[in-house]
Structure 1
Amino acid sequence: MKSVITILFLLSLLLFASAICNILSLKRPGFYPPKQVLKKRASSLAGGGALFLILSILLSSI
């Protein structure tokens, strides 16, 4: 069970890191995907990261 919690926690960190990467690419001029696509992608990645983080916290408290 400890390994599952660790994997979920690492997955949440990976999703948060990729959301931050998408947010930072919004600031660069001339980046190919439109800004709306990057905002939508960043919000979905951050939402998934939050979901996995909450799930890993709940499982670790059991």
Structure 2
Amino acid sequence: MKTAAMTFFILSAILLIGTLKYLVELKRPGVYPPKQVLKKRTAGLAGITFIFLLIAFISSRFS
């Protein structure tokens, strides 16, 4: 179970880096794809990151 928790922690860290990348791209002017698309991608990645982090914490607590 420790391996699963570590895997979810690593996945959440990777997704967090992706979320931060999209946030930085949102702040730049004149970027493609449009800002609405970047906002949706950022929100989606942040949601999945939160879910994976929650799963990692739960699996590390109960193993």
Over the matched positions of the two proteins, sequence identity in percent amounts to: 44
1:38 matched to 2:38: yes
Q: Taking CA–CA contacts closer than 8 Å with sequence separation of 6 or more, which of the two structures ends up with the larger relative contact order?
A: 2
Amino acid at match of 1:52: F
5+ residue gaps, structure 2, are: none
Deviation at 1:20, TM superposition (A): 0.8
Deviation at 1:29, TM superposition (A): 1.5
TM-score by length of 1: 0.94
Q: How many pairs does the alignment contain?
A: 62
Distance in 1 between residues matched to 2:17 and 2:25, nearest whole Å: 12
5+ residue gaps, structure 1, are: none
